[in-house]
Structure 1
């Protein structure tokens, strides 16, 4: 058995000897550290990873009273936790796929392996209602969320801009099933509309005040080096050609005709931002900085796109 895995013997011993929620939190955190897991789907350390797995799996809130963690678990609960810990360590399954829950912009969302786990810095922009960029009273009546995945960005946008209609487009029918579920769970089906679309193909002639695009942007080199956890995510949502910018090229080429006169385009390209200046040396990208971490998001106006594409 590989040292990075957990054995049935250790799990059975845990079921027999560990009694409280706190016991299982401590045990799972220790095992996660020992196994050398990669933390990149909502946490960055073994303890927070344990909390995000154990508590939701017991239908308990992350911020529950501290005295509750001394509560004893029944055998079936311990068996359930042991199975989840085994899946996290031996199969490198990200916690949000085990709990079917991820948080984005302070909102909970259902996720499974049909969609990426939400982690975009767009959450900070949405929570701030794109301050600086929209402070001049620019209208936000129509918004497009490009490559919506779970629908988390589209739904968060609808919450932030309660008078706006949001089109949530994705090439994947499976992803749109998840998005549609989340849209109904958040009671936004009257303003957020899931649309199957290969970039702009599904919204011909439509114009938007705000286009938010979080396309696949992982280049071939980074795809080859991704930790095992990321291989549970749909490759369609990650890979985008040798330089990671195949979809972004199409977005830049076609976005202007889908923006209103004062419209804005925000695009996340992550680490592939290193390729952008070489491909578009004259494009006046404004690269955004985030207080909560994150890189590779630029903004362009319609006027800038028209002038340089």
Structure 2
């Protein structure tokens, strides 16, 4: 419910509501990073969504006057964002990644993987012919966002998407249906690779739980709303990564590649695997958070 002390009759236009939202976000010292990285973009997204306006058209509506019920709806979502510290995606039931909309709720981590940007380029130059990619495996799929982006990037590929969480798979199922990819994306319940039928994949993608134990204790409130199962990676963040690197060669085709995201755990990765020499893949926002290994490297 909105704060009854707010004189909402003075918030006449969308511009007024934007200013108020940004002030409240600053006062509450909110943390961003689930799709937006600043108060202005967060406020614009929440208010445009609430008012059922196009998410990319703020300026034409800034001077538009709000109806009384619209003011109350806007104040309500501002109140929830500041008081409950819920990420915006959980308030709206959707998240946007590389221009695509995905259904989300607190059963899944909010899509934000850097691997998505690399799929925009179809993993070039590491994949030289996208039509030769016949099979992709997406481990720790969550909402299935990367599995869906992979299916779009590699039109000949069958994609297997794996998660240990039945709750996450329920959300993933909605997104696969949203993109009408039921014939190409198959969901599997498995503890990493343990319950997955053994077969070779041309590409394995994995954005696993990798947050180290100390960082888990220091997470901002917004991140604590996400399932810890999708975040916690053990003492050094490498628990699942160790398992994956041991087993991955058995699931890679001879020329297969593994693309792995490790977040801010570069030093822990290097300490855990000093003999590995991966290719570090740069994105707009990172240079040491996503790595690539081929099958020969993993076997050796």
Q: Which bin holds the TM-score, normalised by the shorter protein?
A: over 0.9
- Could you report, residue by residue, the CA deviation over 1:50-72 in whole angstroms, capped at 9, with x for unpaired residues? 01111112221222263223222
Name the CA distance, whole Å, in 1 between partners of 2:284 and 2:86.
29
What count of residue pairs does the alignment treat as equivalent?
300
Offset of 1:106 from its aligned partner? 1.6
2:91 matched residue in structure 1: 98
RMSD of Structure 2 on Structure 1 (CA): 1.7
Structure 2: gaps spanning 5 or more residues: none
Q: TM-score, normalised by structure 2?
A: 0.95
Alignment correspondent of 1:194: 187
Compute the displacement of 1:136 (Å).
5.8
SS at match of 1:168: strand
- Between the aligned partners of 1:222 and 1:283, the Cα distance in structure 2 is 25
CA contact (8 A) 2:2 2:76 kept: no
* Distance of 2:123 and 2:107 partners within structure 1: 29
Write the deviation string for residues 201-243 of structure 1: whole angstroms up to 9, x where unpaired: 2322122100000000000010011111000000000001111
Q: 2:267 aligns with which of 257, 260, 274?
A: 274
Counterpart for residue 212 of structure 1: 205
Structure 1: state its 5+ residue gaps. Answer: 1-5
Query: Counterpart in 2 of 1:110?
Result: 103
Structure 1 residue 291 displacement after superposition: 2.6
Q: Which residue in 1 is equivalent to 2:289?
A: 296
| 1:33 matched residue in structure 2 | 26
Q: Say if 2:12 is the partner of 1:8.
A: no
Q: Is the 8 A contact 2:44 2:58 kept in 1?
A: no
Report whether the alignment pairs 1:67 with 2:60.
yes
User: What's the offset of the Cα at 1:289?
Assistant: 1.6
Provide closer, same or farther for how the CA distance between residues 113 and 294 of structure 1 changes in structure 2, counting only shifts above 3 A. Answer: farther
Which one of 13, 16, 19 corresponds to residue 23 of structure 1? 16
Is the CA contact 2:159–2:184 (under 8 Å) kept in the aligned structure 1? yes
Matching residue of 2:51: 58
Structure 2 residue matching 1:53: 3-state secondary structure: helix
Q: Is the 8 A contact 1:105 1:156 kept in 2?
A: no
| TM-score where L is the length of structure 1 | 0.93
